[in-house]
Structure 1
Amino acid sequence: MPTERLSGPQKAAILLFSLGEDMASTIVKQLGEEEIKKIGGSISKLSSVSPKIVETILSEFQEASSTQLPIQIGQEGGSKFMKTVVSKAIDGQKAQNLLEEIQEEGKWNLFQKIRKLDHKTVSNFIRSEHPQTIAIILIHLDSSQSSAILEEFPPALQTEVIRRIAELENIPPGIVEEIDQVLQEEIVTIKGFEGQKKGGVRLAAEILNQMEGAAEGNILKEIEDQKQGLAEEIRKLMFIFEDLLQVNDQSVVAILKEVNNETLMMAMKTASEELKEKIFKNMSERAAQMLKEDLDVMGPARLKDVEAAQQSILKVAKKLESEGKIVLMGTGKEEVFV
């Protein structure tokens, strides 16, 4: 394992381990809590460190290596070492709290890293692995993420992986640990791997959905003038009031139950005839007739107020979707964001 692949906290952990508990405790006293947590979390991921790596790391810290034997760390040894060091450096309950956080930090592994990546990145990362390895990885993820990853594979590989998942019962701990260690070295080479995704088309669409209609339209028009393809990608992921046409009747009924008449009437001021008919269809005959009459006699309304009413209804829809009570899926859309 070249030292270039080691993170700063891992190098610091190796240095502390090589110095021994007493000297390490003296150093730890000078560190902040976040630094201690990172080092403590890193030490449990190390198993055996060669003399050459120890020497290189000590050299980086301007220290000379005095050992010619590998430092045997391991999860149990690393945890015991950090417990002693932290207990000597920090008093009482504060030390205990910090050790508990270090324990959680140490659980950060391959599967947790994969959960932070989008499904296409993961599928490209693992598709060349043995089907049994892929199966073991997928069973450690949420079923929704596993299915999205699986859909990116060729049909033959999909079948093979599902078959192996179905046949998996007890997995020897050593197998999982081996997969974890081997693939963790590779995952850091993924272009753009930074843990949780921060931006992207999906987030842009979600942000635009929270803006007033006029501002949203202007921004999209500007983007379209510069990059038409990008604007189209954003539009595909946006959910606007007219997209209620694509929502099933049962979901429309659920939405209408949560919206008051004044908001609904204002929102429908600029709705298409098709959308109006869909809404009327999902109301009682009496309620629909009353709404039609109110719309007929309704005077001019500010566009800003109409758009605010529409956004209010869309927020209700998104809330119901997040609670699993309705499905918002427009034709040709990967997912819907409000």
Structure 2
Amino acid sequence: MILAEPPELKRYGGIERAAALMLVLGKDHGAQIWEHLSVDEIKELSATISTLGRVPSAAAEHLLIAFAGEVSAMNALHGSFETTERLLDGILPSDRVREIMEDIRGPAGRTMWDKLSNVSEAVLAGYLKNEYPQTVAVILSKLKADHAARVLGQLPREIAIDVVQRMLRMETVQKDVLLQVEQTLRSEFMSNLSRAQRRDPHEAMAEVFNAMDRSTEQSILGSLDEHAPESAERIRALMFTFEDLGSLIPTAVSAIVRQADKRQMALALKGAPDQIRQLFMSTMTERSAKLMREDMAGMGPVRARDCEEAQTALVRLAKSLADRGEIVLADPKSDDAMIV
């Protein structure tokens, strides 16, 4: 049975209906829905709720019945990019939906300039070399200096020189010009990049191997050497191991030491090569290093497996800090590659 929509509900758009439904559900029944919303969505829904005024009982009842009917009619729920986009289309304006989906599909970042900072300089330069130099100058002026420098290094020399000269002569960029550039980047570059991006499966597998215990890793990679030697070599090149921590600069090691569980770190260092042990100790205060040595000595004999698990945990912490931009992990297997 399809209930007729009450007249009071006709003045509600998509966002107003969503806000009214959340208001009707209240704190107890709506809490789990709020937990799955982004900060921006919460702000938008909250602002709409604050301006709803009185919600007629007929409108509230219709929203609840319609909501319950749609859920009960589903045999199963399937989450995907497409279903997410269809769901948001019924709640938010189309431009807001587009921005949210770009955030989900494309490089992370709250603003367009944040997003560009997460795009490889080679990919970004490949797009910019076909743009008007003044546009390139505007874009590079909005990026962080180190990222802009790497992009310039990837551009053809003549273009790079032209762009630098324009950046030197550039005055304050008008807001409408920036908005136009952002819109072009969003519609032409970021959307195409989102569709084109496909993660190398070897990268995902390298992360899986990083999380394995040492014996399992060596056993499976050994078998892979026989059946798919090129894949095994690629995975090894992408893995970041505990031994690779020995190549980090002292400030990066210091950040790991500050945030690591001290008991776990003592266990990891007990089974570590002398070079890595000394590197970690050198970033500690004299008193902290003394306490760490005492903890290691007080453990007595420990299982190699326990040491390896503690070392894997330190590697995960290092990669987590790198993901947050707090440290940079230089990959010793490559002259210029960076793991971030």
Shorter chain as normaliser: what TM range? Answer: 0.5 to 0.7
Deviation, 1:211, is: 3.2
Contact 2:248 2:330 in 1 (8 A): yes
8 Å CA contact 1:237, 1:333 repeated in 2: no
2:279 corresponding residue in structure 1: 278
1:187 to 1:103, Cα distance in 2 relative to 1, 3 A:
closer
- Change in 2 beyond 3 A, CA 1:295/1:246: same
| Structural mapping, 1:88-127, within 5 Å | 98=90, 100-105=92-97, 115=116, 118-127=120-129
Instruction: Report how far residue 309 of structure 1 moved.
Output: 0.7
The 5 Å alignment of 1:20-99 reads: 98=90
* TM-score normalised according to structure 1 size: 0.53
Q: Counterparts of 1:318 and 1:266 in 2: how far apart (Å)? A: 19
What residue in structure 2 maps to residue 248 of structure 1? 249
Deviations 1:24-74 (A, max 9, x none): xxxxxxxxx9xxxxxxxxxxxxxxxxxxxxxxxxxxxxxxxxxxxxxxxxx
The one of the two structures with greater contact order (alpha-carbon pairs below 8 A, sep at least 6) is 1
3-state DSSP of counterpart to 2:309: helix
SS class of match (1:274): helix
The residue number in structure 1 matching 2:338 is: 335
CA contact (8 A) 1:237 1:334 kept: no
Q: Which amino acid aligns with 2:93?
A: E
TM-score, with structure 2 as normaliser: 0.53
Deviation at 1:334, TM superposition (A): 1.8
Corresponding residue number in structure 1 for 2:260: 259
Amino acid at match of 1:279: F
The alignment partner of 1:301 has SS state of coil
| Aligned counterparts of 1:290 and 1:182: Cα–Cα separation in 2 | 54
The answer (yes or no) to whether the contact 2:267–2:306 under 8 Å persists in 1 is: yes
Aligned to 2:68: none
In the alignment, which residue of structure 1 is the partner of 2:161?
Answer: 159
Which has more radius of gyration?
1
Alpha-carbon deviations, 1:65-111, whole Å to 9, x = none? xxxxxxxxxxxxxxxxxxxxxxxxxx99x9x9947431314568999
Root mean square deviation of aligned Cα: 4.6
CA contact (8 A) 2:135 2:181 kept: no
Q: Which runs of 5+ in 1 are unaligned?
A: 1-32, 34-90
Structure 2: gaps (5+ residues): 1-13, 15-58, 64-87
2:205 is aligned with 1:214 = no
1:226–1:140 distance in 2 versus 1, CA, 3 Å? farther
Contact 2:138 2:173 in 1 (8 A): no
